[in-house]
Amino acid sequence: MNDYYNNEIITIRRLEKSDKKNYRDLAIKLSFNPKMYEDEMLYDFAWSLALNRDGETHYSIFSTVNDLYIGDLLLKESDNDLPEIGINILPEYQNQKWGYNAIKAFTEYLKNRNDINRFIVRIYSDNEASKALFRKFNVKKIGTEDSTYVAFMKEANAILGEESTAYSDESIKDLESKVHIDKYVLEI
């Protein structure tokens, strides 16, 4: 996807530095551990990954009508035959078709531009709203895997060490025992 796409409902543009506050607010509202975003060093680490991680591109979603920030989309490994997509919608805009419209526009654009018609979708096992959203696209479950959130917490602790206090080993182990990721294929 280029840096910008819009239709009469949704505007999708590549994440940029001016999105930092919106991205943080979204992360706080949707996070398993909102406390991590209070830690400036840890949040700056997460923000840097969102802007610069190889193979991943984040996009901000806005209402075309009134320019309200709705959430974000993620595209991983866009050069792959089976790229991954993900979506996060602010709670106040969930269950109002924003997520459906964003996924529909995003996948149709990618299909027309890159001839991609299959995508991996990974959903946390306890995220019923995302499961309901993607069921509208007739996804097929293909497996499960460990939580990437737990992997991120471990990576952050290893890199930032004792300077960051957002995660204890106990909280990581507790989360590991409760949450996994269900993996699906979406075909359009």
Q: What is the pLDDT of residues 66-125, one digit of tens each?
A: 999 999 999 999 878 899 999 999 999 999 999 999 999 999 988 888 888 999 999 989
Distances (CA, A) of 58 to 15, 84, 116: 5, 12, 18
- The superfamily in CATH containing domain 4-187 is Gcn5-related N-acetyltransferase (GNAT) (3.40.630.30)
**Interatomic CA distance for residues 118 and 11, integer angstroms:** 22
Question: At 31, is the secondary structure helix, strand, or coil?
Answer: coil
Q: What is the pTM of this model?
A: 0.82
Rounded Cα gap, residues 140 and 182, in angstroms: 10
Q: What is the pLDDT of residues 128-141, one digit of tens each?
A: 989 999 999 999 99
